[in-house]
């Protein structure tokens, strides 16, 4: 979720809670005020009627007086009782399904020693209509107020956070290899200006370190190649000297193998560094099946020598967007790994499908450590011919292009799958 949306969501949740609480609360308070006013009016009328009873001297006069006001009802009461106020609902004669609310006060009066029950009614229909109108107006005002606050906050926040989003956009398009200049907008907010300056200093420092690392790697690789080539040449000359004992020949062969391993290690480390520094050309469409066939054919003699059975199951022709040279390295490392760690007379199975390739082989009859198999210099056995970097290079290429690399051991076979 974006930062701006998260801020707006907090305001929206708060506004919704305020609306849900204030509208019912306002309704209860206003209704209570209106009922209190009606009750006060009814009590005043009851008090005024009792004060004017001295002018009434008979039951007939009382009934005539009560009939003059339709809101007053008179009943015979056996004895005095305290006043009570209540709400009564009366069916509307026009709309038989509707009931109109009435507020009533009931009390006793005495005329010529006779007690009567006096009921004074007051319709609440107009009060309910007034209350409904007030609630609608109040709800509209609150909604407009909250909407206005959210709109103003969104516009203000968007303007305030504009330097941050500008910086974020510049960082997303920054390329360390090109060291492109960041065009950061100045802001009236000092914290954003400080952030821009810190980012600039950090990127400049990282670029300097990157150049130093790149220069060191190139120099180290170049300087190592020369003495390695000299040592290899001297060993070849030493092999041609006579007399040469069998022990000397074995020792020279071991030295030759160590030199070859050191040369491969130097090339692999240089390759990893170049991959991590993104020094390869832009991506293109790589035909996986075509690269697979070419790599398998290059290992044909080695497969026949170790009597490894080659099985191909090409069910689809996957295409990956990546640097073709790196894809050739990825496939070559997987194939060579499957051959190097295979057993004599074993099986090499290559499968392709929609968007994936799987290379599996027989080998040691137990699973490898799936957490470490793609780590640098990880080796299950003490194979001196392996540098321990082949699968690490595969993993780095997959990470670079967001491919999914997985390892599974099943049915005495080691499966390495790349999904594009």
Instruction: Say if CB 171 and CB 184 are below 8 A apart.
Output: no
Q: Which residues partner with 110 through β-bridges?
A: 115
Looking at the structure of the chain, the number of domains it has is: 3
Q: Count other Cβ atoms within 10 Å, centred on residue 188.
A: 8
* Helices and strands of the chain, counted as H and E runs: 10, 11
Q: Is residue 379 part of a domain?
A: yes
CATH number at residue 130: 3.30.450
The CATH number of whichever domain residue 358 belongs to comes to: 3.30.565.10
* 115 and 84 in a common domain: yes
How many other CB atoms are there within 10 angstroms of residue 341's CB atom? 19
For residue 322, list its beta bridge partners. Answer: 284
Alpha-carbon distances of 47 from 85, 190, 291, rounded to whole Å: 14, 72, 107
Q: Given CA atoms 277, 340, 418, 317 in this order, what sign does their dihedral have?
A: positive
Write out the two tokens for 131.
């209350």
In a domain, 177, yes or no: no
Say whether both 92 and 234 belong to one domain.
no
Classify 150 as helix, strand or coil.
helix
Q: What is the pTM of this model?
A: 0.48
What span, in angstroms and rounded, lies between the C-alpha atoms of 121 and 140?
34
User: Domain check: are 95 and 123 in the same one?
Assistant: yes
For residues 8 and 151, state if they share a domain: yes
308 in the same domain as 197: no
Where is the domain boundary, 105, 134, 157?
157
Positive or negative: CA dihedral 262, 266, 267, 271: positive
Structure tokens belonging to residue 247: 């022990």
Question: 269 in the Ramachandran plot: left (φ > 0), alpha (ψ -120 to 50) or beta?
Answer: alpha
Q: Are residues 195 and 64 in the same domain?
A: no
Backbone phi, psi, residue 112, to 5°: 55, 40
Residue 195 maps to a domain: yes
Instruction: Answer yes or no: do 270 and 369 share one domain.
Output: no
**Structural domain range at position 329:** 284-419
Last residue of a domain, one of 157, 178, 205: 157
Residue 58 has, within 13 A of its CA and on its CB side, a CA count of 3
Q: What is the CA radius of gyration of the chain?
A: 47
Q: How far apart are CA 406 and CA 417, in angstroms?
A: 5
239 and 321 in a single domain? The answer is no
- Does residue 165 lie in a domain region? no
Tens digit of each residue's pLDDT, the chain (420 residues): 666 677 777 777 887 888 788 888 888 888 888 888 888 888 888 888 888 776 676 667 777 777 777 778 877 776 677 888 888 888 776 655 567 888 888 888 877 777 778 888 888 888 878 888 888 888 888 888 888 887 887 787 777 778 878 888 888 777 776 666 777 777 777 888 888 888 888 888 887 887 777 777 667 766 777 777 777 777 777 777 777 777 777 787 778 777 777 776 767 667 666 666 666 667 788 888 888 888 888 888 888 888 888 888 888 888 888 888 888 888 988 998 888 888 888 999 999 988 899 999 998 888 888 888 888 777 666 555 566 777 888 888 888 888 999 999 988 889 999 998
Query: Do 117 and 13 belong to one domain?
Result: yes
My answer on whether 141 and 74 are in the same domain is yes
Decide if 305 is inside a domain. Answer: yes
């Amino acid at each position: 979720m974006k930062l701006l949306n998260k801020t707006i969501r907090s305001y929206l949740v708060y506004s919704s809670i305020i609306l849900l609480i204030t509208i019912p609360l306002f309704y209860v308070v206003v209704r209570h005020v209106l009922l209190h006013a009606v009750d006060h009016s009814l009590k005043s009328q009851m008090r005024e009627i009792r004060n004017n009873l001295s002018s009434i001297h008979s039951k007939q006069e009382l009934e005539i007086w009560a009939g003059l006001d339709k809101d007053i009802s008179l009943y015979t009461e056996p004895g005095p009782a305290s006043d009570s106020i209540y709400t009564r609902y009366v069916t509307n004669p026009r709309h038989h399904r509707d009931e109109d609310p009435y507020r009533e006060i009931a009390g006793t009066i005495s005329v010529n020693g006779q007690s009567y029950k006096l009921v004074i009614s007051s319709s609440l229909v107009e009060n309910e209509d007034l209350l409904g109108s007030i609630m609608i107006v109040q709800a509209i005002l609150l909604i407009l107020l909250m909407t206005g606050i959210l709109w103003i906050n969104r516009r203000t926040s968007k303007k305030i956070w504009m330097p941050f989003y500008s910086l974020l956009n510049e960082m997303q398009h920054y390329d360390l290899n090109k060291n492109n200049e960041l065009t950061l907008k100045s802001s009236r907010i000092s914290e954003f200006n400080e952030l821009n300056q810190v980012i600039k200093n950090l990127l400049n420092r990282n670029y300097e370190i990157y150049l130093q690392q790149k220069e060191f790697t190139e120099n180290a690789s170049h300087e190592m190649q020369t003495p390695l080539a000299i040592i290899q040449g001297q060993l070849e000359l030493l092999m041609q000297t006579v007399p040469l004992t069998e022990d000397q020949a074995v020792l020279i062969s071991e030295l030759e193998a160590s030199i070859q391993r050191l040369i491969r290690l130097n090339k692999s480390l240089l390759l990893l560094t170049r991959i991590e520094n993104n020094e390869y050309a832009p991506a293109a469409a790589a035909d996986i099946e075509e690269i697979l066939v070419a790599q398998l054919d290059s290992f044909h003699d080695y497969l026949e020598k170790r009597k490894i059975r080659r099985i191909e199951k090409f069910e689809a022709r996957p295409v990956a967007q990546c640097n073709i040279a790196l894809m050739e390295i990825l496939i070559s490392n997987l194939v060579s790994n499957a051959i190097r760690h295979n057993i004599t007379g074993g099986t090499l199975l290559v499968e392709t499908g929609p968007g994936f390739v799987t290379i599996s082989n027989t080998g040691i009859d137990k699973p490898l450590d799936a957490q470490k198999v793609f780590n640098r210099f990880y080796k299950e056995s003490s194979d001196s011919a392996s540098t321990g970097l082949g699968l690490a290079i595969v993993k780095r290429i997959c990470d670079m292009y967001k491919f999914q690399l997985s390892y599974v051991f099943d049915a005495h076979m080691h499966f390495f799958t790349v999904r594009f």
